[in-house]
Structure 1
Amino acid sequence: MSTASPKTTTHGKVRLNPVVFFGSTALILTLTLALILLPEEAGLWLGAAQNWLSRSFGWYYMLAIGTYLFFVLYMAFSRYGNLRLGADHERPDFSYSAWAGMLFSSGIGISLLYFAASEPIDHLYNPPEGEAGSLFAARQALQLTFLHWGVHGWAIYALVGLAVGYFAYRHHQPLALRSALYPLFGERLMRGSVGNAVDCFGIFVTLLGLVTNLGIGALQVASGLEYLFGMPHSDSALLVVILVMSAVATLAAVSGVEKGIRRLSNLNILLFSSLLIFVLFAGQTLHLLNGFVQNLGDYLNGLILKTFDLYVYTGQSGKSESWMGLWTLFYWAWWISWAPFVGMFIARISRGRTVRELITGVLLIPLGFTLAWLSVFGNSALDLVMNQGAVELSKAALEQPAMSIYRLLEHYPGAKIVIGLSICVGFVLFLTPADSGSVMLANLSRRDGELDEDAPHWLRIFWSVLVTLVTIGLLFAGNFTAMQTVVVLAGLPFSVVLLLYIVALLKAMRQDMAVLDERQAGRSVPGIGMVEPR
């Protein structure tokens, strides 16, 4: 099937939503100024808030994450999986290969390059339980890394993408976060204060995620240039990297889903796969293949246990609790905070897909590659550290994680060329979430227009510029870590919104299935806004 082109934006139809636009802008600027002007006080307060959240809501996060995963699996394997995001006769806008490529790139960012070697090594030396540096700790390190990057996070993306896309394309609601709540709050509230509050907070959380993405991306690329060319580790050098990355991301966002994001997705897959294949075959291939199979088995075997594991019986409650806050709970909140814009982007490209197609595509297409990547790079890093005395690698993983991937690759033939390729991979990995995020921010802050119509160019440019300015301010104020803490805190209230999405979807889908059953029986019963065949 040929890929359909999105509609051209018509400025006469698309209007700014002033409440959402100015409210979210004021919120993010107020937070940024507080972190810049009062770095020490804000850092202390946010650190205390994160510790409180970890102690008080660890159990809630575990139950919520388990609920999201169970729900999307139930949707995929139940009769609701046959429902379509659109009219019953409608077919997908994008071909399967184009859709799969954009799914792959939408949720895989530069953080995967950042943590590929550093996270397993960190778990090796700072395990939640067991002896540090032991073989047990090494095996556990990959199991925990798989947990943090595994099916739970992709289930969150699938939930948001399903909820937004289902109500937009099947129930004629705007392509916005608020739309998935209209069965619970009604049309009037969704177009008023409640809907504005949901979209405003969604923009706030999304912008926080994009700021951290740009910060991590700039540090990753700058570290690579420092290693490869001896570029000085200075604020001015980092500023140049940020500006160049932001400019390219803005151009891609302006070009839209069809031209910019789709082409970047294809380039992303090519570069990413090339680097993975090189490390696999240039290293101890048999050991890495064996390791991947065992890592996958450990992950699947402990999936239910680790979903609810709060390390209550380790005998080291303080140490385990601190580790949970720094890693597992951080990751759950991180996935939730990225869910608004990744989920909306998934919805944007999934019109015409069935519920089952969307869920299985989101859960399986990016997941398989992610786990293979983590296993190959993680096992390679652990082998170098434990068996070959790679001191510089272990030091970088613990002290300068952005440098760890380059310290790993220096042990391979053609290291300079491969490290240059990895810098390019990092750059492209940053671009795809950055440009798709800017498009979704712009779409959330406007109203009216067609469902397949993206916001005007000036609005996308505004959000790209704002993300850049906030990132520069926080990095140079030395308070970028505080922004990452805010992301974790912001994930808590949005996790409640996701639970409401579940209730709303169940309510709407039950009524839609009743309508279909009545039609099949030869009778006609009105639905709740379900699209009629055209």
Structure 2
Amino acid sequence: MKEIKKDNTVYIISLIVVFAIVGWGLITPANFGNAANALFYYLVDNFGWFYLTSMFLFVVFCIIIGFSRYGDIKLGPDDSKPEFSTVSWFGMLFGSGMGIGLVFWGVAEPLNHYLNPLGLEGATAEAANFAMKQSFFHWGIHPWANYAVIGLALGYFQFRKNAPGLISSIFLPLIGEKGVRGPIGKTIDILAIFATVAGVATSLGIGTLQINSGLNFMFGLPTTTIIQLTIIAVITVIYVWTAVSGIDKGIKLLSDINLVLAFAILVLSIIIGPKVAMLNSLTNGIGNYIDKFVYDSFHIEAFGDNSWIGGWTIFYWAWWIAWAPFVGTFIARISKGRTIREFVLGVILAPTLASLIWFAVFGTLGIKLGPDVAAEAIKVTETAFFVVMSKYPLGFIISVIAVILLCTFFITSANSATFVLGMMSQQGDLDPTTSKKILWGMVQALLAFALLLGGGLNALQTASIAAAFPFAIVMIFACVALMKALRQEK
């Protein structure tokens, strides 16, 4: 591509859109919440089939392209080498993609499904099997294939075709350079920035609540606005500092720490827990997951009630799509020099296996305590992990490590997002300016705190998921664009 002139259009419009949404949420939170919910439920009711079909297509696309004759093509020149070791690469993948969600939902989701399974009686052996299978399904191959679609397409155009690190660059084969630099391309990039800011700000706010709840449960620290503001302030200073330090130093270091802490929690939990039950749960869960993979991928009631599917599966699919621009851009940024096959295997299979083991361990820990403890744990999702751990030896130590892990996972998600937002608002520059990274870091923190005060976190989450609906369409065309470009490879 030709040298790009400085253009702050995307940057300025994105800031205006973000502040307009925040203003709406703060001035009339009830109206904002009602509008977001109405839009989301309209999409679930009328386009649930589209979310399900799209996510399955992303899985099929990644498998086909990873094992096709294009699998040996590198994301970069033919002689390029990976920038990061495989361990550090995996750590950054995991931290940016969904690490924090595993701590938040690792206990809570299986227990919810155990007590309230779809079409079964709760608190039974069948319900427990359903709980593990469904948790595997929601956190397995589908979300990572969704991230891989954007990451692979962007990595290819960014490093092999020398296009800017922008989502719009993926569409060069379809709309040309003029279209990418015009209104269509800018609209795509603005959508990507909004989805990233809203998604990370929401997670930062919800994570702050969980950290505060954990400290309250263990140490009696009050759950107050002052404490939550302090948590956000401390985390913000760290994630902005690590984002400014760059990927090589700050982000890579924290991602490595994440892996060590997560592994420590996992090992300690296996030591104190019912080991045979965990292994049986993992084995049986994988079997059920594979057996029902296609059925669950398309399961939606044509003549019945879809409230359970809408509240869990479709909500998750929409949430993963909302995160795809940010996670996909970051994954692309750290994957230069890897082959398409290596990328697909690394991005999809490795994190999926880690997620399955995580849910098998922590889901089993919760379910083995019985329905009474399960009901107590899921009363407040933020404390479900800590309630279950309090029933086991070494549970207090594991809970303390978990609070630290929550902080480091949030920091890695936020600093990855800060770095990506700097890239997106600076025409895809792989090394965005310090001032832009600091500004986006502060915007995320202020947005999280403002919505925490106004009680609008859930509304923002719903709004970002609803607004990301067009991104599913963008991602389908991204598959088409990448395939067209690969066919032109010599």
**Which TM bucket (shorter chain)?**
over 0.9
Tell me by how many angstroms 1:495 deviates. 0.5
**Whole-angstrom distance in 2 between the partners of 1:132 and 1:448:** 50
| Amino acid aligned to 2:152 | L
Q: Which residue does 1:100 correspond to in 2? A: 90
Q: Which residue does 2:219 correspond to in 1? A: 229
Tell me by how many angstroms 1:351 deviates. 0.9
Task: Note the 1:130-529 alignment, pairs <5 A.
Answer: 130-312=120-302, 317-318=304-305, 321-386=306-371, 389-390=372-373, 393-397=374-378, 399-447=379-427, 453-512=430-489, 515=490
Conserved? CA contact 2:58–2:149, under 8 Å:
yes
Superposition RMSD in Å: 1.6
3-state DSSP of counterpart to 1:80: coil
**Whole-angstrom distance in 1 between the partners of 2:182 and 2:39:** 31
| Amino acid aligned to 1:499 | I
**Whole-angstrom distance in 1 between the partners of 2:335 and 2:412:** 17
What is the TM-score when the length of structure 2 is the normalising length?
0.97
Q: Aligned residues, how many? A: 488
Conserved? CA contact 2:154–2:167, under 8 Å:
yes
3-state DSSP of counterpart to 1:110: helix
Tell me by how many angstroms 1:40 deviates. 1.5
**Whole-angstrom distance in 1 between the partners of 2:7 and 2:388:** 48
After superposition, the C-alpha distances for 1:443-485 in whole angstroms (9 at most, x for unaligned) are 0101375xxx410111101001000111111111112110111
**Whole-angstrom distance in 1 between the partners of 2:467 and 2:356:** 27
Conserved? CA contact 2:272–2:394, under 8 Å:
no
Conserved? CA contact 1:16–1:445, under 8 Å:
no
Conserved? CA contact 2:229–2:449, under 8 Å:
yes
| Amino acid aligned to 1:286 | V
**Whole-angstrom distance in 2 between the partners of 1:50 and 1:414:** 42
Tell me by how many angstroms 1:115 deviates. 0.8
**Whole-angstrom distance in 2 between the partners of 1:99 and 1:413:** 34
**Whole-angstrom distance in 1 between the partners of 2:234 and 2:88:** 27
Of residues 121-130 and 403-412 in structure 1, the stretch that sits farther from structure 2 once superposed is 121-130
Conserved? CA contact 2:165–2:428, under 8 Å:
no
1:30 aligns with 2:11: no
Q: Which residue does 1:55 correspond to in 2? A: 45
3-state DSSP of counterpart to 2:370: helix
**Whole-angstrom distance in 2 between the partners of 1:159 and 1:332:** 14
**Whole-angstrom distance in 2 between the partners of 1:50 and 1:158:** 25
Tell me by how many angstroms 1:491 deviates. 2.4
3-state DSSP of counterpart to 2:221: coil
**Whole-angstrom distance in 1 between the partners of 2:407 and 2:224:** 19
After superposition, the C-alpha distances for 1:388-423 in whole angstroms (9 at most, x for unaligned) are x42xx52331x3101000001111213332211111
Unaligned ranges ≥5, structure 1: 1-12, 516-534
Q: Which residue does 1:127 correspond to in 2? A: 117
After superposition, the C-alpha distances for 1:118-149 in whole angstroms (9 at most, x for unaligned) are 11111122222222333222211111111110
After superposition, the C-alpha distances for 1:351-400 in whole angstroms (9 at most, x for unaligned) are 111110111100122111111001110111111133xx42xx52331x31
Tell me by how many angstroms 1:14 deviates. 10
| Amino acid aligned to 1:395 | E
**Whole-angstrom distance in 2 between the partners of 1:448 and 1:265:** 23
| Amino acid aligned to 2:260 | L
What is the TM-score when the length of structure 1 is the normalising length?
0.89
Percent identical pairs in the alignment equals 36
**Whole-angstrom distance in 1 between the partners of 2:42 and 2:393:** 47
3-state DSSP of counterpart to 1:337: helix
Unaligned ranges ≥5, structure 2: none
Conserved? CA contact 1:14–1:446, under 8 Å:
no
The runs of at least 4 aligned residues of structure 1 exceeding 3 Å deviation read 13-17
